[in-house]
């Protein structure tokens, strides 16, 4: 049975605890990237460069709502549709479309001020995640690498992902594993972690953390999160802290 939610303020609800909490009681915060830390779903915007945004966005939406349960398969299907996208196209997405969501910098700064470490764990791509890391001063990143062709099609996406030491796709299970791995390496207990996301693939890591936060999230995610931010910026989490 779902725990009843309590409205603390317009667009801000909690379940399972009574605020305020102390931010300094937490030691690690993990963020999803697309539609959480940033304003876009990068894969959808990249697809726009080859006229396939509608097709890719439909798969993304179904995956984020939890209607497609195999995230890895859904991402491989979407990435395959990116074949032929150039690095110049990727750069335009970053420059022209990608923006930090409101309150992102403020929340990260507040967390770092009390000594917390910051993790970005994304089903998106390192091309964007590493830049977001550098902009916000994030400590750790795990994301997927898009394969880029050499030879005649040099500089174009192949429609495949690059295998990394941990695997090729950061799905929900990998997000959870990464959160717990980083926490363990830093001698941080799961209950000292915060996890923030918006889609169904964020639920595993949110379920492993001491505090789960849904940000402008899909219904399934809002219903399971301890905090749901439905209006305003990411820094509304600080309204629950002292």
As a whole number of angstroms, the distance between CA 135 and CA 234 comes to: 16
- For the chain, domain boundaries: 6-240
Element of type H or E holding 172:
helix 172-185
Confidence (pLDDT) at 153:
87
| 23 pLDDT more than 90 | yes
Give the mean pLDDT of 49-59. Answer: 95
Element of type H or E holding 219:
helix 219-224
**Catalytic residue at 32?**
yes
The one catalytic residue in 32, 171, 198, 202 is: 32
CA nearest neighbour of 39 among 235, 220, 234:
234
Q: pLDDT tens, 116-155?
A: 999 999 999 999 999 999 999 999 999 999 999 998 888 9
As a whole number of angstroms, the distance between CA 99 and CA 144 comes to: 20
Which residues make Cβ contacts (< 8 Å) with residue 22, sequence separation at least 6?
241, 242
Query: Domain 6-240 maps to which CATH number in 3.40.50.1000, 2.40.128.20, 1.20.140.10, 3.90.226.10?
Result: 3.40.50.1000
Q: CB atoms < 10 A from the CB of 4, how many?
A: 8
Give the mean pLDDT of 217-226. Answer: 96
Q: pLDDT tens, 66-95?
A: 999 899 999 999 999 999 999 999 999 999
| Partners of 29 in beta bridges | 118, 194
The one catalytic residue in 25, 34, 48, 235 is: 34
| 1 pLDDT more than 70 | no
| Partners of 146 in beta bridges | 161
Look up tokens 């849904």; give the residue: 214
């Amino acid at each position: 049975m779902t725990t009843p939610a309590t409205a603390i303020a317009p667009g801000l609800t909690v379940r399972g605890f009574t605020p305020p909490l102390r931010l300094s009681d937490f030691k690690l915060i993990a963020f999803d990237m697309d539609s959480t830390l940033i304003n876009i779903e990068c894969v959808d915007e990249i697809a726009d460069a080859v006229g396939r945004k509608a097709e890719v966005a439909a798969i993304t939406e179904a995956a984020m709502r939890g209607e497609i349960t195999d995230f890895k398969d859904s991402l491989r299907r979407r990435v395959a549709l990116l074949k032929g996208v150039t690095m110049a196209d990727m750069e335009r997405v970053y420059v022209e479309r990608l923006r930090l969501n409101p309150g992102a910098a403020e929340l990260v700064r507040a967390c770092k001020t009390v000594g917390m470490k910051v993790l970005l764990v994304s089903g998106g791509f390192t091309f964007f995640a590493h830049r977001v890391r550098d902009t916000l001063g994030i400590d750790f990143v795990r994301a997927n690498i898009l394969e880029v062709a050499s030879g005649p099609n040099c500089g174009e996406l192949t429609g495949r992902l690059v295998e990394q030491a941990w695997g090729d796709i950061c799905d929900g299970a990998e997000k959870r594993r990464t959160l717990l791995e980083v926490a363990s390496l830093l001698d941080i207990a799961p209950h000292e972690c915060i996890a923030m996301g918006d889609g169904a693939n964020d639920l595993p890591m949110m379920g492993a953390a001491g505090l789960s936060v849904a940000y402008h999230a899909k219904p399934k995610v809002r219903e399971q999160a301890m905090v749901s931010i439905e209006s305003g910026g990411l820094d509304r989490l600080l309204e629950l802290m002292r």
